[in-house]
Structure 1
Amino acid sequence: MEIITNLFRMFFKDSIKYTKIKNENPNSKYFGIVGIVYPILALILGGGAIYFSLKLLNDIGGFNNIIVAIFIIIGGAALGIGGALGFFSYVIRGIIVSSYQIKLNKKTIGVVALIVNFLILCASIVLLFYIIKHNL
């Protein structure tokens, strides 16, 4: 529940920043640059967390102690869920700030940021299926 609240808080902050930039400097490229950086961070952080979570869960058979195995399962699940939530929050925020950039005067960088967002989203889905196929 707190994650959803944080998403709304980020959206509200970006909305206030958009209104301020729109009134002061409509030629700003801030949202376009941020819209490109957010999905890249999402792929690195979220994808890495999901990959290492699957790697942890895949290597569970080598542990003889049941307590260690249980803690690794809990840690791997928490890491995977946290990585997925972080990934989606960055991608959603990247799409939001890209749409704000499209509303400003420099529309091209907003469109490029939106394309980068969707390309990284598609690439991450393909990467996730690849990791699942070769890890499990």
Structure 2
Amino acid sequence: MSRRGVQQAQPKAQWNPNEIDSFLTYLISVKSAMAGTSFKEVTFNEAAKYIESLRTAGPVKTGAHCKNKWAMLKQTYNAIKSYQHHKSGCHWDNERGANIQGPAAEVVWEEYVSRKVRRDFA
């Protein structure tokens, strides 16, 4: 906190693929420590220590960085799952994403995204 009691923003974390993979591997290994549908703060603090040696850019990750990353990863996962069940024939894979091909598929995707962005990110 600054002198006037206003909390200063943390530097933005920069995640590389190895950090994300190790972070998720750690969380899977301690999933019994979940508190409801997420993890306790101490788990995120330990996760930050676990991935510390993998940092290639940005500030050292904190528990808060890890908690935010977990929330964003869950949001992305849930958006993909929702898209997969949106309509028959909608496709997603980890290599090509939605792999939109052709004008009809593009219209379906744009319509879906516009509704999701307005509802989930507004």
TM-score by shorter chain over 0.5:
no
* TM score, norm. by length of structure 1: 0.27
Please state which structure has a larger fraction of its residues in helix.
Answer: 1
* TM score, norm. by length of structure 2: 0.30
